[in-house]
Amino acid sequence: MKIIVAADPFALNLKKPIVAHLGEKGHEVLDLGATGEKAIPYYESCVTACRALQAGKGERAILLCGTGMGMAGIANRFQGITAAVVESVFAARMCRAINNANVLCLGSMLWGDWMAKEAVEAFLTTSLTDGLPQFADFLKEAYQKVEAIAPEVNEKAM
């Protein structure tokens, strides 16, 4: 799977092990965020990553900042993006099973390397309704209804 990754300078410590983990699992990584040489703030790297996801340059994205909330707030402004900031492996799994999120947002102030890799794995290996067969019909219908809601576009923010 092709995964877009972007981090701000506060989350470089978490980005490195996640990118390594993705490579070990055979995923192709498109890194569009800050590096050791480039200090790109979350509000810029998030926009770049979401536009790349909209353009089909990746199947999913993982966005990292101090809390994950800044990235999620911006990402959810983009049409076709469902971003979830999660604080547990269970929530990473459920953001896919319940909401079919295509963007995972993690905070470097909250996650250690090992658990973050577990959350990434849960996010990448779970699909809509996984583990929730008793709610499958409802979740599929809810997903379609949510997708039909047209976003209001704020051109000034872009």
pLDDT in tens, 99-122: 999 999 999 999 999 999 999 999
Give me the CATH number covering residue 26.
3.40.1400.10
In whole angstroms, give the CA distance from residue 102 to residue 154. Answer: 21
Supply the pLDDT for residue 37: 75
**DSSP SS3 for 35:** coil
Among all residues, which ones are annotated catalytic?
Answer: 65
pLDDT band at 156 (very low <50, low <70, confident <90, very high): low
The domain tally of the chain equals 1
Supply the pLDDT for residue 151: 63
Residues 36, 29: contact at Cβ < 8 Å? no
C-alpha separations of 36 from 19, 73, 106, 129 in Å: 14, 25, 19, 39
Range of the domain at 122: 2-157
In whole angstroms, give the CA distance from residue 6 to residue 16. Answer: 11
Supply the pLDDT for residue 153: 57
Supply the pLDDT for residue 148: 87
Q: pTM for this structure?
A: 0.91
